């Protein structure tokens, strides 16, 4: 292995976002300015009165879920003019690695907007402190859920590092333990950190092997997702995970969401739903419906 390995963009090649820098910048600004599904304006970086501790953002192609994600990043920018570290808890779509998997193989991650360094020291501390954390590059080589968040962060910030993590299905005890370790590790760094859970919500349709609704699909998917979101708003992690099991849900990053909820609780955060819609609202179709939500966990600044 070379001393410094850079992860080249993959999701852009697969069409999740433009691979051309100028087109990507225009697309990001379009999503912020979207007044139908987006926040309707570009973010203004300022020192607001909220401390944004964590968030939940979708990770589908920008044309589908990017306007939803823009709600969280606008909220973040307008309360946090600078970050030092973004801990991105993605979904493990590949199946490689353990229940919580990072990688130190890549020292930098590249997008059309440039390169971002990985905080290797922070990762090593997590690996040493948490028995659930594995280091496996295979879990990250062809995974899009972490990568699609990086251009948003690059658009807003400079001189920050990332910690890429993907999470499989896990239970309350694992989520709680890792959140406590993450909380302790962040507290010791004295850095301005944000934790981002990268997850879509219900995936409904035969392509996903999940067809519990036969009629009024769009509205029923919305109602189901809002049940999950209600538990998130209450910071009821056990209740959220119980609902996931009850409905055999296809919320792809529910493990990452559970960790973010437990982490937010340690910071005595409140939760705010910034935006929800699903792919059917974009396409007008019901054969395939995927839910998207932007949620912020915050507390008042001291």
**pLDDT above 70 coverage of the chain, percent:** 99
Mean pLDDT of the chain: 96
Determine the distance from the C-alpha atom of residue 287 to the mean position of all C-alpha atoms in its chain, rounded to a whole number.
25
- Band of the pLDDT at 46, cuts 50, 70, 90? confident
pLDDT mean over 127-145: 95
b/e string for 250-279 if b means 16 or more Cβ within 10 A?
A: bbbbbbbbbbbbbbbbbbebebbbbbbbbb
- Band of the pLDDT at 48, cuts 50, 70, 90? confident
pLDDT mean over 58-66: 98
DSSP-H helix ranges across 34-119: 67-77
Determine the distance from the C-alpha atom of residue 292 to the mean position of all C-alpha atoms in its chain, rounded to a whole number.
11
User: CATH number of 5-300: 3.40.1390.40, 3.30.70.20, 3.30.70.2610, 3.40.830.10?
Assistant: 3.40.830.10
Give residue-wise pLDDT tens across range 264-282: 999 999 999 999 999 999 9
Say what the pLDDT of residue 4 is.
58
Backbone angles phi and psi of 155, in degrees to 5:
-65, -35
pLDDT mean over 6-25: 95
Nearest to 291 by CA among 226, 207, 234: 226
pLDDT mean over 172-193: 96
1 pLDDT higher than 50: no
Q: In the structure encoding, which two tokens stand for residue 197, read together? A: 């859970």
Residue with the two structure tokens 């926040």: 39
Q: Please, are residues 136 and 101 in contact by the beta-carbon 8 Å criterion?
A: yes
Say what the pLDDT of residue 191 is.
93
């Amino acid at each position: 292995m070379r001393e410094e390995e850079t992860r080249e963009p993959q999701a852009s090649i697969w069409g999740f976002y433009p691979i051309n820098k100028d087109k990507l910048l225009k697309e990001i600004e379009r999503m912020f300015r979207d007044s139908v599904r987006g926040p309707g304006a570009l973010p203004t970086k300022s020192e607001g009165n909220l401390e944004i501790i964590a968030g939940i953002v979708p990770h589908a192609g920008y044309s589908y879920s990017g306007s939803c994600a823009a709600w969280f990043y606008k909220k973040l920018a307008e309360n946090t003019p600078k970050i030092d570290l973004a801990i991105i808890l993605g979904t493990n779509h590949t199946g490689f690695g353990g229940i919580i998997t990072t990688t130190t193989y890549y020292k930098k991650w590249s997008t059309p907007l440039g390169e971002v360094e990985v905080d290797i020291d922070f990762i090593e501390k997590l690996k040493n402190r948490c028995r659930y954390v594995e280091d496996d590059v295979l879990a990250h080589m062809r995974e899009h859920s972490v990568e699609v968040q990086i251009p948003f962060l690059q658009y807003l910030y400079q001189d920050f590092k990332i910690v890429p993590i993907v999470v499989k299905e896990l239970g309350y005890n694992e989520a709680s333990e890792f959140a406590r370790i993450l909380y302790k590790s962040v507290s010791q760094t004295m850095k301005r950190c944000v934790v981002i859970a990268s997850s879509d919500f219900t995936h409904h349709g035969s392509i996903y092997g999940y067809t519990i609704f036969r009629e009024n699909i769009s509205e029923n998917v919305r109602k189901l997702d809002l049940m999950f979101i209600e538990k998130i708003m209450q910071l009821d992690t056990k209740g959220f995970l119980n609902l996931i099991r009850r409905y055999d849900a296809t919320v792809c990053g529910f493990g990452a969401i559970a960790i973010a909820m437990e982490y937010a609780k340690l910071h005595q955060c409140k939760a705010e739903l910034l935006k929800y819609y699903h792919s059917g609202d974009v396409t007008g179709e019901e054969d395939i419906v995927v839910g998207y939500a932007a949620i912020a966990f915050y507390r008042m600044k001291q």
